[in-house]
Structure 1
Amino acid sequence: MAEIASYAGYDFIVVDMEHGAGGVREALTCIRAVEAAGSSTVLRVPDNCQAWTKKALDLGPDGIMFPMIETGKAASDAVSYCRYRPDGLRGCAYSIVRDSKFGFDEEYLRNYTDQLLIMCQIESEEGVKNVKDIVAVDGMDCVMMGPRDLSASLGLLHDPGNAKVKSLMRTAETAVIASDPENGGAYLAGMATAQDKPVDLRLRGYHMIIGATDVPLFKKAVVDDVKSFKLGCS
């Protein structure tokens, strides 16, 4: 499915290890398929921690996404997990991992920071409150908004279109855009939803827009197929 999505024309594919059954081995298979089809990968880790980041980056994705970032300190920690010492805390096995082409990339240590997109998700009321501290973190390239978890943090899990959720979304969006990504600030990313169509996000200044996910796409396709079959046989 990752390979098909890449051939379909998506600029990048998010490989998700936070939710679902997929782990490191499955993520590697997806990354290889996406690369072979000519697209790029952003790998979402299950948690903002050094161990998961190390395992994820060794696979060689084009970007990494950290969930539930709520403070500038958490964003700074995330960036540190992506940098080798003395600039960060990433464990050093660069001569034998896929990220460096198993040591064949002789320019790797000079270029590895420039070739990785670091995304932090703001998906809680606390995260919105600290959005300016988050976008100010050096090395944090992009803020990814998470409206569903944001609505849950407000006690509105079943109402992501609530005016209060929308208001906090606008607060965070405005702060990220004002940070000016061309001059050291952060880019703004988000997912198209029933409440926010891709065109809505684009008009609000989003730089990266994530479309549909594989499970809902497949679910709709099979439900429609079953309905069509039943109608044809009735």
Structure 2
Amino acid sequence: MFLLSFSPTLAEIAAHSGYDYVVVDMEHGHGGIPKKALDLGPQGIMFPMIESRKDATKAVSYCRFPPEGIRGSAHTVVRASKYGIDEGYLGNYADELLIMCQVESAEGVKKADEIAAVDGVDCVQMGPLDLSASLGYLWDPGHKKVREMMRRAEKAVLTSDPEKGGAYLSGFAMPHDGPAAIRERGYNMVAGTVDIGLFRNAAVEDVRRFKMGLVNESDGEDSLDNGKDVDDEKYWSE
């Protein structure tokens, strides 16, 4: 799940619901944590719009302390190290952080093999909507040319061997390209929904059902059974 609402409550519900991972989206979502994300202690971080080996290398450098990178150090007091209580943090922080680079433009697709091969890049995340926009098909992410570019990038990542320093493949399930389909093509991680989308759909449906109930009542139809809405149990369980 991608979490755009920046709601701790929804994040906690998602965790208890059984999702394998939740991405807190600070690119399109409402929240923002400039320069503090890694110090909070996430298990992974995703960089948007990576288009070259240089971009990917720079992204990795932001996640590594000197001399391997340029990440600022306050490891003795930040949450990531349990505020300094975790004495082994510096020895294992790099191994325990998942670094994901998004390929979501035509230029990025051309360099997908180079991006996947950068040391430290654990996963390449495909971005179908931005890719469709870069190709001129913002309103049609399922267009044949967009699908062709997606397949090209997928193959480039899949031919990189994670056991030899290559990256895994990750992506979004879409209405025209469901989770089963992309899993069959070799995706290792699949994002299937967005919290805002789930709530939007539930809210719209809730209003629709409420209005339909008013219409039925005005028509004189009895929708009650011994004082209880016949659909009450289903309603509250959703």
Deviation >2 Å, runs of 4+: none
- Please name the residue that 1:67 is paired with: 48
- Please name the residue that 1:5 is paired with: 14
Q: Does 1:132 align with 2:141?
A: no
Letter in 2 for 1:218: F
> Which of these residues, 101, 123, 128, is aligned with residue 120 of structure 1?
101
- Matches of 1:56 and 1:6, distance apart in 2: 19
- Please name the residue that 2:134 is paired with: 153
- Matches of 1:21 and 1:160, distance apart in 2: 24
- Please name the residue that 2:25 is paired with: 16
1:15-35 superposed Cα distances (whole Å, 9 cap, x missing partner): 1111132123xxxxxxxxxxx
Local SS of the residue matching 2:118: coil
Q: Number of residue pairs matched? A: 206
Deviation of 1:55 (Å): 1.3
- Matches of 1:108 and 1:3, distance apart in 2: 25
> Which of these residues, 51, 72, 90, is aligned with residue 91 of structure 1?
72
Identity %: 62
Where do 1:221-232 residues align within 5 Å? 221-232=202-213
Local SS of the residue matching 2:180: helix
1:68-124 superposed Cα distances (whole Å, 9 cap, x missing partner): 000000000000010000111000111011111111001111101001000000000
Question: Alignment RMSD, CA only?
Answer: 0.8
Structure number with greater Rg is: 2
Deviation of 1:227 (Å): 0.7
Letter in 2 for 1:14: V
1:6-54 superposed Cα distances (whole Å, 9 cap, x missing partner): 1110011111111132123xxxxxxxxxxxxxxxxxxxxxxxxxxx4x4
- Please name the residue that 1:107 is paired with: 88
Letter in 1 for 2:157: V
Q: Does 1:192 align with 2:173?
A: yes
- Matches of 2:36 and 2:148, distance apart in 1: 37
Q: Which runs of 5+ in 2 are unaligned?
A: 1-9, 216-238
Deviation of 1:181 (Å): 1.3
Q: Does 1:56 align with 2:65?
A: no
Local SS of the residue matching 2:83: helix
Deviation of 1:233 (Å): 1.1
- Matches of 2:124 and 2:50, distance apart in 1: 9
Letter in 2 for 1:3: E
Where do 1:29-48 residues align within 5 Å? none
Letter in 2 for 1:111: N
> Which of these residues, 142, 167, 185, is aligned with residue 148 of structure 2?
167
Letter in 2 for 1:18: E
> Which of these residues, 148, 155, 162, is aligned with residue 181 of structure 1?
162
Letter in 2 for 1:224: E
Letter in 2 for 1:171: R
- Please name the residue that 1:35 is paired with: none
- Matches of 1:56 and 1:122, distance apart in 2: 21
Higher relative contact order (CA 8 A, sep 6+): 2
Letter in 1 for 2:126: M
Letter in 2 for 1:181: P
